[in-house]
Amino acid sequence: NAGVMQNPRHLVRRRGQEARLRCSPMKGHSHVYWYRQLPEEGLKFMVYLQKENIIDESGMPKERFSAEFPKEGPSILRIQQVVRGDSAAYFCASSPGRMREGETQYFGPGTRLLVL
Amino acid sequence: DQQVKQNSPSLSVQEGRISILNCDYTNSMFDYFLWYKKYPAEGPTFLISISSIKDKNEDGRFTVFLNKSAKHLSLHIVPSQPGDSAVYFCAARLWGGSQGNLIFGKGTKLSVKP
């Protein structure tokens, strides 16, 4: 059973460009989460999605960031007009359903975004 | 404001001894706590969890203790092995929320010396 897949693993963008980060959840998982980790920091929750629905976007910046999880295909985190402060590691996680006690979110290897 | 705090950025332990990683939290509405282990350039890997209605959970070499009155939890690794060297994150889930929003501490880097 393949784990959570994220691509690309590394992404370099110039200021003002768009960044698209992809996440394929584990097989059988319909819930996806995105987190961002800045250097020397813990992971910060961004958004929680189920197929075609946003469940919780309380951690998403109000501008330039969007996320989707279509019926078919991977989840996409999109950052428009990137700035240097967007440089971070972006982790995707998945779970079969709403996380119950005794369960966990399974994390992918992350995408390291560098904005020049 | 940090709701989950790991006040020790690093910890060094001799192989075979006990490693104790600490985590403090401020929000009494957290109902579920998890520990993750992370190697460089990889994603976090789940280790062990504990519900707020329990005070201890054990899985092999890993034991998590929860002291609700002190808002403190700790992860014990016995015996420590060099392969345990990694960054350990404590995470908490808020009761009544979406149940998807985990709040992480900044991590503690554990080094186990042979």
Encode pLDDT of B57-75 as tens digits: 999 999 999 999 999 999 9
Q: Which of B104, B108, B109 to mutate to test the interface with A (most CBs of A within 10 A)?
A: B104
Tell whether B45 is within 8 A of chain A (Cβ).
yes
Q: Are B25 and B71 in contact (CB under 8 A)?
A: yes
Q: Please write the tens of the pLDDT for every residue from A39-81.
A: 888 999 999 999 889 999 999 999 999 999 999 999 999 999 9
Chain B residues within an 8 Å CB radius of A31: 100
Q: Are A99 and B33 in contact (CB under 8 A)?
A: no
Q: Which uninterrupted H or E stretch holds A56?
A: strand A53-56
Which residue in B34, B51, B106 is closest to A104 by CB distance?
B34
Q: What is the pLDDT of chain A when averaged over all its residues?
A: 94
